[in-house]
Amino acid sequence: MTDLRFLVLGSAAGGGLPQWNCNCSNCAAARDPSFEIIPQTQSSLAVSLDGETWALFNASPDIRQQIQQTPQLHPKTLRHSPIRSVIITNADVDHIGGLLTIREKQAFDLFSTAAIGTVLDANPVFRVLNPAFVQRHSIRLDEVFSPLAGMEARIFAVPGKVALFLEEGEPELGLEGEQTIGVEFLANSKRAYYIPGCATLPDWLCERIRGADLVFFDGTVFTDDEMIRVGTGTKTGQRMGHMPIIGDDHSGSLDVLSQLDIGRMVYVHINNTNPIWRDGPERDAVTAAGFEVGHDGMEIDLA
Amino acid sequence: MTDLRFLVLGSAAGGGLPQWNCNCSNCAAARDPSFEIIPQTQSSLAVSLDGETWALFNASPDIRQQIQQTPQLHPKTLRHSPIRSVIITNADVDHIGGLLTIREKQAFDLFSTAAIGTVLDANPVFRVLNPAFVQRHSIRLDEVFSPLAGMEARIFAVPGKVALFLEEGEPELGLEGEQTIGVEFLANSKRAYYIPGCATLPDWLCERIRGADLVFFDGTVFTDDEMIRVGTGTKTGQRMGHMPIIGDDHSGSLDVLSQLDIGRMVYVHINNTNPIWRDGPERDAVTAAGFEVGHDGMEIDLA
């Protein structure tokens, strides 16, 4: 078995659904069992070839809950984990917070760019990952690496910005470097991408993912001013480093990605305010384009 | 209404029950819905006087899940939280990790000793708690402070050690300083204590809590060599800064606390390996002494 298997551990953006201090209509509905909105945890994807060993792409603060609700990730012996590696795609809290949880003398490989590694090193609290057990690897952009035995992957810069807690004044937006990366998976002549944060889709990036079998893509906000209109924030999606699903002049990810002959398109990293969480015209627009709304527990085998 | 109300948000020690990489008999049972062991989250206590505003004692990595399963802590308006303050009793990850989750421009007061504040300051990742919203307060040992309007509390040093991730070589054990604190609550002529980590019960500490109406106390391990015997670790409870429930020559917390005329005694911060999680002679010993085993969602009103 060398098919790529993907398991969405968390489909929501930072804060999750519901977010602890938010009572927007989505969050309120997610707290009410009589509504159709099921609570969703923060952004993380598990990937496997054999179904026995798994690589985690991003360690969300909800990782303990995510492991608990995912039998594939339960330990098989007294001290054990099927999680063999963790790869970090940016240094925001929703992607690194869970590193504090997967301590307890468990061996795994931790992959990141040097820039993200520097952020971790600057915080002594991450020493809970004892180097005697957790081996750190710096991976270079566009270099092939192996998150699991037999699995080939490659990271590449995507337009983004530094993590919120590292901002000093107004950050550079649409930065292409080691701060925000996408991941390319290659196996069994299939090609898949994981891009949970992306500020724009420039031509070079479109060409890179054109014709892919599967793309998980940044679905943070439906429209750029969504948080402002809902009243939960003052920032645009763009300011947060996320392109909207629908934009002016067909500039949103839905229109751009629709042109790229992608086999299966799944939105992940979806903010609690995003209307695609519930039935309605926005979700209909996504599904009419043949795209899917990711959800916790979603499994995709690229057979 | 000025009664003290306590709500156990998380009764387990670091790692929770089950712990992500542990398959000991307790953890395995907690993953199996047909067993009597209900999963428990990591160490945190909510306290209120009016039932409307709450102070959190420790911010566990499970805080998002804890808030979600506690209607008292749900937001009431678009952006809101009944949580008005957070108090940290030591800098271990199970008590500070949740600070990364309660971001999102929500105002609250964060209280700690200067020593614990220094640990937070040394980690830029805690800048997610924007100082424009989260006000930091250094509290001094034995000084009265007010975690909530109308509530009086006092912190005091208890025997402990520095957080695991700050250890360099063999740490000093039984240190009495700002690293590990207990909390005393005074309201309506009632007196209560929260002491989730404690290495020993010296005479002065016994005298302090003697005659209290309620004590939440460190129930990490039942016996000092428990983790070694279960095979999940090489450290004694003592080495981790936690005194056992049962010790040689009646030196365990059960025997010592039984002599102190305490109204209601509740064990919290219980390790996943502790046999008191399940029915059996160890749990019987605790309940025969009139002590209670804390559990997530446990409510106590000191009326």
A13-47 pLDDT, tens digit each: 999 999 999 999 999 999 998 988 999 999 999 99
- Distance, CA of B4 to CA of B301 (rounded, Å): 6
Residue with tokens 């959800």: A295
Q: Which positions in chain A touch B31 (Cβ < 8 Å)?
A: 68, 74
Query: What's the confidence (pLDDT) of residue A303?
Result: 87
pLDDT at A242: 96
Q: A231-236: which pairs have CB atoms within 8 A and are 24 or more residues apart?
A: A231/A24, A231/B78, A231/B79, A232/A22, A232/A24, A232/A272, A232/A273, A232/B78, A232/B79, A233/B105
Amino acid at A232: T
Distance from CA of A78 to the nearest CA of B (A): 5
* Neighboring chain B residues of A96 at a CB cutoff of 8 Å: 125
CA atoms within 13 A on the CB side of A226: 25
User: How far is B172 from chain A, CA to nearest CA, in Å?
Assistant: 19
Asked if B125 lies within 8 A of A128 by C-beta distance, the reply is no
Q: Low-confidence residues of chain B, pLDDT below 70?
A: 1
User: Considering only alpha carbons, which residue of chain A is nearest residue B22?
Assistant: A79
CB of B297 closer than 8 Å to CB of B69: yes
SS3 B192: strand
Of B67, B76, B165, the CB nearest to A125: B165
Contacts of residue B118, defined as CB under 8 A and 6 or more positions apart, other chains included, come to: none
For residue A2, how many C-alpha atoms fall within 13 Å in the half-sphere facing its CB?
11
Give the span between the Cα atoms of A121 and B196, in whole angstroms.
Answer: 29
pLDDT in tens, A104-145: 889 999 999 999 999 999 999 999 999 999 999 999 999 999
Residue with tokens 């929770």: B16
**Predicted local distance difference test score (pLDDT) of residue B1:** 53
Which residues lie across from B55 on neighbouring strands?
B47, B85
Instruction: Pick the closest to residue B191 from B89, B263, B254 (CA basis).
Output: B263
Please indicate whether, in this complex, the C-beta atoms of A93 and B74 are within 8 angstroms of each other.
Answer: no
Across A191-212, average pLDDT:
97
Residue of A nearest to B79 (CA): A22
The amino acid at residue B240 is M
Return the half-sphere exposure (C-beta side, CA atoms, 13 A cut-off) of residue B208: 20
**What predicted TM-score, i.e. pTM, was given to this entire model?**
0.97
The reply to whether residue A165 touches residue B128, judged by beta carbons under 8 angstroms, is yes
Mutate to test the interface with A, among B96, B101, B123 (most CBs of A within 10 A): B101
Cβ-contact A195, A218 below 8 angstroms: yes
The partner residue sitting opposite B23, judged by closest CB among A64, A80, A97, is A80
pLDDT in tens, B248-289: 999 999 999 999 999 999 999 999 999 999 999 999 999 999
pLDDT value at A274 more than 60 = yes
Out of A81, A96, A164, closest to residue B20 by CB:
A81
Residues of A in contact with B169 (CB under 8 A): none
* A26: nearest CA partner in chain B: B78
In this predicted structure, the answer to whether residue A185 has a pLDDT above a threshold of 80 is: yes
Q: Which H/E stretch holds residue A287?
A: helix A281-288
Q: Report how many Cβ contacts below 8 Å link chain A to chain B.
A: 143
Which candidate in A23, A42, A77, A125 is best for mutational testing of the B interface (most B CBs within 10 A)? A125
**Could you tell me which of B45, B82, B4 has the C-alpha nearest to residue B298?**
B45
Q: Do B128 and A20 touch (CB under 8 A)?
A: no
Alpha helices in chain B (DSSP H): 25-31, 63-68, 93-96, 114-121, 203-209, 226-230, 237-240, 253-258, 281-288
Give me the pLDDT at residue B121, please.
Answer: 96
Radius of gyration of the CA atoms of chain B, in A: 18
B95 CA to chain A: closest CA distance, Å?
11
Residue in chain A nearest B231 by alpha carbon: A78
CA B63 to CA B74: how far, in whole Å? 12
Residue B66: the pLDDT is 98
The shortest C-alpha distance from A264 to chain B (Å) reads: 31
Kindly determine whether residue B68 and residue A39, on different chains, have CB atoms separated by under 8 Å: yes
Which amino acid appears at position A36 of this protein?
E
Give A75-140 as a DSSP string: -SSSB--SEEEEE-S--SHHHHGGGGTS-SS--EEEEE-HHHHHHHHT-GGGGGS-TTTEEEEE--
Name the closest residue on chain B to residue A128, using Cα atoms.
B165
State the distance between the two ends of chain A, measured CA to CA, in whole angstroms: 9
Q: Are B75 and B81 in contact (CB under 8 A)?
A: yes
Buried-state track B256-295, b at ≥16 Cβ within 10 A, e below 16: bbeebebebbbbbbbbbbbbbbbeeebbebbeeeebbbbb
Q: Does A123 contact B123 at a Cβ distance shorter than 8 Å?
A: yes
Q: Where would I find the H helices in A177-252? A: 203-209, 226-230
Q: What is the ipTM of this complex?
A: 0.96
Residue A1 has pLDDT above 70, yes or no: no
Q: Are B65 and B19 in contact (CB under 8 A)?
A: no
Disruptive mutation site among A64, A68, A106 for chain B (greatest number of B CBs within 10 Å) = A64
A101 vs B contacts (CB less than 8 Å): 20, 61, 93, 97
Min Cα distance B254 → chain A (Å) is 28
Give B125→chain A minimum CA distance, Å.
Answer: 6
Of the candidates B164, B195, B13, the residue with the CA atom closest to the CA atom of residue B94: B13
How many CB atoms lie under 10 A from the CB of residue A287?
Answer: 11
- pLDDT confidence tier of residue A291, bands split at 50, 70 and 90: very high
Report the Cα–Cα distance between both ends of chain B, in Å, rounded: 9
In angstroms, what separates the C-alpha of A100 from chain B's closest C-alpha? Answer: 7
B190-207 pLDDT per residue, tens: 999 999 999 999 999 999
Mean pLDDT of all residues in A65-72? 98
Q: What are the structural domains of chain B? A: 4-302 (3.60.15.10)
